[in-house]
Amino acid sequence: MINGKSPRNKRVVVVGAGLGGLSAAASLKAEGFDVAVVEKNERIGGKLNFREIGGYGFDLGPSIFTLPQFFESVWTRAGKRMEDYVGLEKVTPHWRNFFEDGLVLDLHEDMVRMKAELAKLPGDPETHWKQFEAFLAYGREQYHLVDEGYFREGLDNLWEMLRHYGWRLLFKMDHRHSMSESIANHFEEAHLRHIFEYFIKYVGSSALDAPGYMNLMPLIQFDYGLWYVKGGMYQLALGLGRLLDDLGVDVHLNREVASIDRSGSRVTGITLTDGERLAADYVVCNMEVIPAYRKLLSEPPAFLKKLEKFAPACSGLVLHLGTDRIYEQLAHHNFFFSKNQHKHFDTVFKRGELPEDPTIYLVAPTRTDPSKAPSGHDNLKILPHIPPINPDKPLTHDDYVALKDRVIDKLERMGLTDLRKHIVVEDLLTPVDIERMYHSNRGSIYGVVSDWKLNQAFKAPKQSSKYANLFFTGGSVNPGGGMPMAVLCGQKVCDRIVKREGRGA
C-alpha cells in the first residue's frame, strides 16, 4: 500500500514475463495495483527457459543462482516465504578451472579447502594465499559500497550516485582502473588473474573494459554462496508463476505485443498483434530498452542514437549435448581457459569476431541433479562468449557451426576424450535464435555491456526519459544482467512507481 492507502486499483500492464517482469508484477500486485502480464512465448521465464530432448533436461539460459536474498525479498514483499515455492541446494565446488598446461583448480566457499587449492599453483603458497585474502577484502569493500546504494536504493544515473555517495564515489569506488588492471595489481600468478577476470561472465562483458569495482562479483559467490534450484533452474520461474497465481495476477501467454500506445508524453496501454488493446495507467516493459523503443514505440533514429551507449553485451553459442558416458573429471560448473584470454576479450568485444580459442563455460548439472540425464549418461551445456549480431557484417550459420567444432576440438584436447563419439543428443542456439526467441538486442544474452568508457558500466534507466509512466525492467536496465539483478530491478521499478503515486502522479 502507498502511505497506508490503496493506489485506487490503478492498472499496470507488464510486457514480457522474464524475471524482471515477473518480479515487478508480484511487487506491484503486493502494493495493491491491478496487474496483468503479457508474454509472447508459451511459458514464463524469458531467457530462464528449458528444453527436454530424449531424457535430457537442458536449462537454456541461466545456470548459476547467487544472492538468494534478492529473490527472497520478492516473496517477503508479498507476505510469503520463498522456501514454500522454490528449493535451493548448495553447489560444491563453485567452479572447476581447466588450463592448457594441465592445471586443474577448484574454487571453494570453504576457505580451508580454498587454501589447499591455491597450493597447487606454481610459486609460494603463502604468497598466493595472502594475495587472495587481500583481493577478497578489496572486493568485499567494493561489493558493500555498491550494494548499499546502487543495488539497495535502485540508483539510476551519475547524478543519483553523486547525491547518495558523495566523495566516496570518487575515492572509495574503484573506477580508475579496469577490472583486469585491479586484478593484476593484486595477483602475481597468471592462472589466478585469468580465473578472476572471467567472473565478468556474469554480465557478458570484457575485464579489459569494465571498471575495477566489478571485482565485487567474486564476493557474491565467496560470501553468499552458489546454488542450484532443486529440480532444475526453471523451477525458479515456476515458483514465481505460482506466486503470481496466489496473488491473483493475470498472465497471458502466447500473446505478442505489437505496440505500446501513447498520447503526448504518456503511454496509454498496449496493442496486441491480434488487435486487442489493453489500457493501462503504467506500462512496465521487460523487452530490452533499444528493441522496445524501436519495435514497440517506433521512435525515430535521432532518439535511438542517444541510446547507442547502451550497447549490447555479448551473445553466446549455446550448445547442449547429451552423452552416453559420464566425464568424471567435470564438476557442476567448469571453465576451460583460453591460452591468451586478453586476445579472446579483444576478439569478441573490440573486433566483433568469433574467437579462435575461446574461454569455454561448461555446465554438468547431473553432478548435483542426476535426474537431468539417463543413468550413466551426461548432460553438458557448453557456452563460449561471442559477439552479438552485427547487422553490417552478419555471420552465417556455417560460421557458428565451425566455432562449435573448434570448441569440441578444444574440449577433447583438454580431457573430454572422444566427446564427439559419445554425443547422442545435440541442440544448438546461435545469436540469431536468441534474438528471435526473446527479442533481445542483436541476440545479446546479458543485456547492456559494462564498459567504463562507453557507459560508465551503467545500464539504461528504469524510467523512460520520454514517457513519464513507462518503465523498463530486466538485464538492459540498472542494475544489469544476471538473475539476481533482473529480479532486483523489477522490485526497484515497483518502488519508483509507488513513489510516483505517493507524490500524486
What pLDDT was estimated at residue 503?
67
Whether residue 222 is predicted with pLDDT greater than 60 in this model: the reply is yes
pLDDT classification of 502: cutoffs 50, 70, 90: confident
Structural domains of the chain ordered from first start: 11-49+65-88+233-307+455-502 (3.50.50.60), 92-225 (no CATH), 314-438 (no CATH)
Q: Label residue 1 by pLDDT band (50, 70, 90).
A: very low
Q: What is the pLDDT of residue 7?
A: 63
Go through 78-109 and write b for each residue having 16 or more CB atoms within 10 A of its CB, e for each that does not.
Answer: bebebeebbebeebbbbbbbbbeeeeebbbbb
pLDDT tens for 389-448 read 999 999 999 999 999 999 999 999 999 999 999 999 999 999 999 999 999 999 999 999
pTM of the model: 0.96
pLDDT band at 505 (very low <50, low <70, confident <90, very high): low
Residues 324-335 have a mean pLDDT of 98
Please report the pLDDT score of residue 504 as a whole number: 61
Residue 3 has pLDDT above 80, yes or no: no
Q: How many CB atoms lie within 10 A of CB 337?
A: 23
The predicted pLDDT at position 477 comes to 97
Q: Can you give the pLDDT at residue 480?
A: 87
Q: What is the mean pLDDT of the chain?
A: 96
Helix/strand/coil (H/E/C) assignment for every residue in 52-121: EECCEEEECCCCCECCHHHHHHHHHHCCCCHHHCCCEEECCCCEEEECCCCCEEEECCCHHHHHHHHCCC
User: In whole angstroms, what separates CA 273 from the centre of its chain?
Assistant: 29
The one-letter code for the residue type at 403 is L
pLDDT band for 2, please (50, 70, 90 cuts): very low
Share of the chain above pLDDT 70, in %: 98
d(CA 162, CA 60): 39
- Other beta carbons within 10 angstroms of residue 409's beta carbon come to 12
Give yes or no for residue 6 having a pLDDT over 60: no
Instruction: Decide if pLDDT at 239 tops 50.
Output: yes
| CA quadruple 379, 63, 349, 220: dihedral sign | negative
Residue-wise DSSP of 178-194: BHHHHHHHH---HHHHH
The answer to whether residues 354 and 399 touch, using CB atoms and an 8 Å cutoff, is: yes
The torsion angle over the Cα atoms of residues 252, 254, 256 and 262, rounded to 10 degrees, is: -10
- Write out pLDDT tens, residues 182-193: 999 999 999 999
Which residues have C-beta within 8 Å of that of residue 441, sequence separation ≥ 6?
A: 288, 289, 290, 291, 312, 388, 435, 447, 476
Q: Are residues 56 and 373 in contact, defined by beta-carbon separation less than 8 angstroms?
A: yes
The phi, psi pair for 182, rounded to 5°, reads -70, -35
DSSP sequence for 400-435: HHHHHHHHHHHHHHTT-TTTGGGEEEEEEE-HHHHH
Residue 35, pLDDT above cutoff 90: yes
Distance separating alpha carbons of residues 444 and 386, to the nearest angstrom: 9
